[in-house]
């Protein structure tokens, strides 16, 4: 059963990721990206990471993509206005992307996989995640508040009107 779910979700994720790149209309791209995120959230569920799956949907599919759609609508980018890239840029992109893909395929084909979930069924469960986050990873958890705070201060600073003028 999980096998079929895995193949279905992978197929959906790859197909919609390709559609993100190939669709002409940016709005369609964003919608396909939402679909990709849902498929990946399904993968997280298969890996027993419920918290990650929910957060992934809430943050990426919910917040970020809605923001994206708003920006697209405000900038009125739903017309096909993508600038044409030069040929050598395309060739270089395909070459370097293909090389990275080759490396990744070679890496994963050699890697020995073992099912983590079967080893420890409680792995990835929200309660355990919380315990680890507030015990072992307390400092990174707190320091990330500085990260968010500096992002907020930056956003406010860039949007503030100049006092001088």
Partner 1 sequence: MKALLLVSGLGFLGILSEILNFKKFIYKLSIVGLLAAIVVTFLEWDNPTPAYFNNMVYFDNLAISFIAVLLITGLLWFLMAESIFENDGLQSDKSTLVLFSIVGAVCMVAYNNITMLFIGIEILSICMYVLAGSKKESLGSNESAMKYFLMGAFATGFLLMGIAFIYGASASFDVMEIKAYMSNSPQNIELVYTGIILLAIGLAFKISAVPFHFWAPDVYEGAPIQVTALMSTIVKTAAIAAFYKLFTVSFGSQEIVWSTTLSYIAALSVLIGNIIAVFQSNVKRMLAYSGISHAGYLLLAILANNAAGGTALTYYTLAYSVATIAAFTVVANVASVKGSSDFTSFEGLGKKNKLITISVIVSMMSLAGIPPFAGFFGKYFLFTSYLENHSINLVIIGLIGSAISIYYYFRLIVNLFKGESDEVIPLSLTSKIVLIIAIILTVAMGIFPEIMNGGW
Which residues lie near partner 1 (CB under 8 A)?
103-104, 106-107, 110-112, 135-140, 143-144, 146-147, 149-151, 153-154, 156-158, 160, 162-164
User: Least Å distance between CB 159 and partner 1?
Assistant: 10
Q: What is the DSSP string of 100-121?
A: HHHHHHHHHHHPPP--HHHH-T
The whole-angstrom distance between residue 35's C-alpha and the CA centroid of its chain comes to 11
- For residue 5, what are the contacts with CB-CB under 8 A and spacing of at least 6? 42, 46
Identity of the residue, 22 or 137, whose beta carbon is nearer to partner 1 in the bound complex: 137
User: Least Å distance between CB 101 and partner 1?
Assistant: 12
Identity of the residue, 81 or 156, whose beta carbon is nearer to partner 1 in the bound complex: 156
Identity of the residue, 1 or 113, whose beta carbon is nearer to partner 1 in the bound complex: 113
Identity of the residue, 80 or 162, whose beta carbon is nearer to partner 1 in the bound complex: 162
User: Least Å distance between CB 71 and partner 1?
Assistant: 14
- For residue 46, what are the contacts with CB-CB under 8 A and spacing of at least 6? 2, 5, 6, 9
User: Least Å distance between CB 112 and partner 1?
Assistant: 6
Q: Which residues of 35-73 are buried (b: 16+ CB within 10 A; e: fewer)?
A: bbbbbbbbbbbebbbebbbeebbeebbeeebeebeeebe
């Amino acid at each position: 059963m999980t096998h079929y779910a895995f193949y279905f979700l992978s197929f959906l994720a790859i197909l919609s990721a390709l559609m993100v790149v190939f669709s002409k209309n940016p709005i369609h791209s964003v919608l396909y990206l939402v679909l990709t995120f849902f498929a990946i959230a399904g993968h997280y569920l298969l890996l027993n990471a419920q918290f990650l799956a929910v957060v992934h949907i809430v943050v990426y599919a919910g917040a970020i993509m809605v923001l994206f759609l708003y920006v697209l609508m405000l900038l009125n980018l739903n017309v096909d206005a993508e600038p044409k890239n030069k040929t050598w840029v395309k060739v270089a992109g395909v070459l370097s992307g293909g090389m990275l893909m080759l490396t990744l395929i070679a890496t994963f084909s050699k890697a020995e996989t073992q099912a983590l979930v079967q080893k420890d069924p409680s792995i990835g469960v929200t309660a355990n995640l919380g315990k680890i986050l507030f015990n072992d990873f307390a400092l990174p958890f707190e320091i990330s508040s500085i990260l968010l705070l500096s992002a907020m201060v930056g956003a406010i600073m860039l949007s503030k009107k100049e006092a001088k003028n």
